[in-house]
Amino acid sequence: MSSPRLSSVIASLVILSLSIVAPPPRAEAARAFFVFGDSLVDSGNNNYLVTIARADSPPYGIDYPSHRPTGRFSNGLNLPDIISESIGSEPTLPYLNPELTGEKLLIGANFASAGIGILNDTGVQFLTIIRMFQQFANFQVYQARLSALIGAEPAQQLVNEALVLITLGGNDFVNNYFLTPITPRRRQFSIEAFSDYLISEYRNILRRLYDLGARRVLVTGTGPLGCVPAELASQGSRNGECAPEPQRAANIFNPALVQMLRGLNQEIGSDVFIIANAFQMNMDFIDNPQQFGFITSKVACCGQGAYNGLGLCTSLSNLCPDRSVYAFWDPFHPTERANRIIAQQILTGSTDYMSPMNLSTIMALDSKV
């Protein structure tokens, strides 16, 4: 019969040996989260680029936990941050952030870059930006780094089980087609034909995303392009009425996007792509701001000129004292509070907002697999 001391020594050796051979624990938390797209979802990649499309100076970030600018085009959190909260995860780091290494890779990554569009000629005025082909190249490099960390099969599983958000299309209209009264794309296409061209190119992008391993993809349509403060100001809106041509473009593009995604899901044989009706999500509080606790959905919190919609948001701009009562933070982007309203619809909205299902349903279904 062994002595108590000998038993204790043997137990200690067994625990020590297990700790040596066991692989490092993986956080069992949330699924990974990947983000692609433009300034509505960029969390700071453009901070590392030579570009004028950046949000790394005050007053950006004034309501972020650090009260410092982060590169998010928001007074505080942006849409990906709030979705991360909803799935119980840390915010994804920008792909270019040097802190994205080791265990941080397991959380996912944000590849988005302000100023980009579906088309490669969108955003040329912003100098260096990370267009979609490069975002996907970065995603491939990320996957190689992830494989080196946890092995090829676990890395593939992590990517396949991840949630993906992609936001594109708005810049192709406001920073390309409608950028000036006469543009090359306007000479080339009617609004209808341009929308068809965008949908065709977007389909190729989404198919490539699927080929890279994405299996649950939230795709946001464009918001009401004619109703942002920048368009109200530039189009000379007198009483806050939305600019008709950009608004018509959104009304043409978004239904076509829904049809394209349905066809793509049928081709794949699975509900990979989930459409978020960002147009209606935004119009709800644009049409009825008081119902959502806003004092205005026309005037940006930060800016100058009519509707605070001209130029950039800088330290010299007009700045509202209470961001929670403004729907728009700057001439183009919603406040954190508006983003929270949008995120809530993504999470729990009816099929009027999320098709074929909302994020809560996705999480419930996928947890049973």
Assess whether 39 carries a catalytic annotation.
Answer: yes
Q: How far apart are CA 35 and CA 218, in angstroms?
A: 10
> Residue 294 corresponds to which tokens in the numbers above?
């806003």
Q: How far apart are CA 42 and CA 114, in angstroms?
A: 6
Q: Select which of 86, 195, 333, 355 is catalytic.
A: 333
Structure letter (DSSP) for residue 45: G
Q: Select which of 38, 42, 81, 330 is catalytic.
A: 330
**Cβ distance 217 to 265 under 8 Å?**
no
Q: How far is CA 28 from CA 25, 32, 84, 117, in A?
A: 9, 10, 15, 35
Token pair 């049928």 is found at 266
Strand arrangement, sheet containing 33-37: 108-110, 33-37, 163-167, 217-220, 273-276, 354-355
> Residue 186 corresponds to which tokens in the numbers above?
């306007």
Token pair 């041509």 is found at 245
> Residue 102 corresponds to which tokens in the numbers above?
């080791």
Q: How far apart are CA 310 and CA 124, in angstroms?
A: 20
- Rounded to the nearest 10 degrees, what angle do helices 79-86 and 336-348 cross at? 40
Q: How many residues does the chain have?
A: 369
Long-range contacts of 92-96 (CB under 8 A, 24+ apart): 92/33, 92/34, 92/35, 92/43, 93/43, 94/42, 94/43, 94/44, 94/45, 94/47, 94/48, 95/45, 95/138, 95/142, 96/44, 96/45, 96/47, 96/48, 96/49
217 DSSP β-pair partners? 164, 273
Task: Find all residues with CB under 8 Å of 261, minimum gap 6, and list them.
Answer: 206, 219, 273, 275
Q: Select which of 39, 74, 89, 317 is catalytic.
A: 39
Kindly provide the b/e burial profile for residues 106-123, where b requires at least 16 CB atoms within 10 angstroms of the residue's own CB. Answer: bbbbbbbbbbbbbbeebb
163 DSSP β-pair partners? 33
- Residues with a catalytic annotation lie at 39, 330, 333
